[in-house]
Amino acid sequence: MGPEFYITRHNELIDPVVAVWSWQIPVYLFLGGWVAGMMILTGISLLRGRYAQRSCVCSTLPVVGLALLSLGMLALFLDLEHKLYVWRLYTTFEASSPMSWGAWILLLVYPVLALTGLVRPPSLLLDLSRTVRHASTWLQSRPHVVRAAGGLSIGAGMALGIYTGILLSALGARPLWAGGLLGPLFLVSGLSTAAAFTHLVASDPGESREFALVDNMALTAEIAILALFMLGLLSGSSAQVAAAQLFLGGAYTAPFWVLVVLVGIVVPLIVQTLAVTHRIAHTPVAPLLVMAGGLALRFVFVQAGQVSHWAHGVSTLVP
């Protein structure tokens, strides 16, 4: 069993297992990564010409993405201390500030989602708006514009997904977050979440199986990145080793290995592998576990990161 980690707040020792943490940032990171993954999958569908089919998931993902991103922005807004001054992020651009990059990336993401959503809008929107119908017809008659929109969707999705990890890793005061793998980890996790959701909602059976395969590849990559992340901590400074011990016998061992690794990655990977090899029927169990694991990943990393500290990995160390 590793050392017990504590943080100091108002001159009191608080056990991180029972400490009450803000939920807004993990939820924002989860929804942002989910939307990023959906943008990448939408872009791939557009580049492959799938938009010619009414059953294409590119008819659903951009609309869902707009809704989820708005919920994520609301969660982020609720977490801000000075809410009335959020507009100042858009009066300048600071190349060294992750928040500045994120603000402008999010400003780009909204119109990209709207553009890709107009390529193959849901039937309800086509029936309600003549403008939407005309815009969709115009776009579909110009494949080169659709391909450009697909490429833009992939690029913006990758930027958004990586940013959700860089937002934490830029805070060098926390050894658990210090490193270059949080960006790729959160990007791959978001892609896995999006593929699982798409596998769940796709109306075309062939397309649904394809996204199950994509999810399996993303889950495998996520395991590899987590292993590299852990090895990087264990081969780093004493503070980084202590941060790794949070997951290796410390306070966050059970949430990490049970909720993130076992429930969120290993079990759905096994279930979906059996499904795509036709050994069992496809069920919603695996996709739902993947989405739950993606949310757990953000909560565990945000909370554990706040406990880790460069002074021997903690703010206060109690033997």
**Both 118 and 30 in a single domain?**
yes
Boundary-marking domain end, from 170, 197, 216: 170
Per the structure, the count of domains in the chain is 2
**Both 47 and 162 in a single domain?**
yes
Boundary-marking domain end, from 136, 170, 204: 170
Contact yes or no for 313/5 (Cβ under 8 A):
yes
Token pair 């429930």: residue: 263
**Both 49 and 124 in a single domain?**
yes
State the pLDDT at residue 172: 65
**Both 180 and 261 in a single domain?**
yes
Q: What is the DSSP string of 35-93?
A: HHHHHHHHHHHHHTTGGGSTT-GGGTHHHHHHHHHHHHHHHHHHH-SSGGGGGGGGS--
Domain boundaries, position 50: 20-170
The type of residue at 256 is F
Pairwise CA distance, residues 318 & 13, whole Å? 10
**Both 38 and 145 in a single domain?**
yes
Q: Tens of pLDDT along 156-198?
A: 999 999 998 888 877 667 889 887 899 999 999 999 999 999 9
Q: Tens of pLDDT along 16-32?
A: 333 345 788 999 999 99
Q: What is the DSSP string of 125-181?
A: HHHH-HHHHHHHHHHHT-HHHHHHHHHHHHHHHHHHHHHHHHHHHT-TT-TTT-SSS
Token pair 């793998």: residue: 181
**Both 132 and 246 in a single domain?**
no
Within-domain flag for 6: no
Q: Strand, helix or coil at 284?
A: coil
Q: Strand, helix or coil at 8?
A: strand
Token pair 């858009």: residue: 90
Q: b/e map of 198-232 (b: 16 or more CB within 10 Å)?
A: bbbebeeeebbbbbbebbbebbebbeebbeebeee
Q: How much is the pTM?
A: 0.86
**Both 240 and 117 in a single domain?**
no
Within-domain flag for 11: no
**Both 143 and 277 in a single domain?**
no
**Both 28 and 83 in a single domain?**
yes
pLDDT in single tens digits along all 319 residues of the chain: 333 333 333 333 333 333 345 788 999 999 999 999 999 999 999 999 999 888 899 999 999 999 999 999 898 888 777 677 676 766 777 776 777 777 788 889 999 999 999 999 988 888 888 999 999 999 999 999 999 999 999 999 999 999 988 888 776 678 898 878 999 999 999 999 999 999 999 888 888 899 999 999 999 999 999 999 999 999 988 889 999 999 999 999 999 999 999 999 999 999 999 999 989 988 899 999 999 999 999 999 999 998 888 765 443 333 3
**Both 154 and 191 in a single domain?**
no
Boundary-marking domain end, from 141, 170, 199: 170
Q: What is the CATH number of the domain that holds 73?
A: 1.20.1630.10
Phi and psi at residue 176, to the nearest 5°: -65, -30
Within-domain flag for 9: no
Within-domain flag for 128: yes
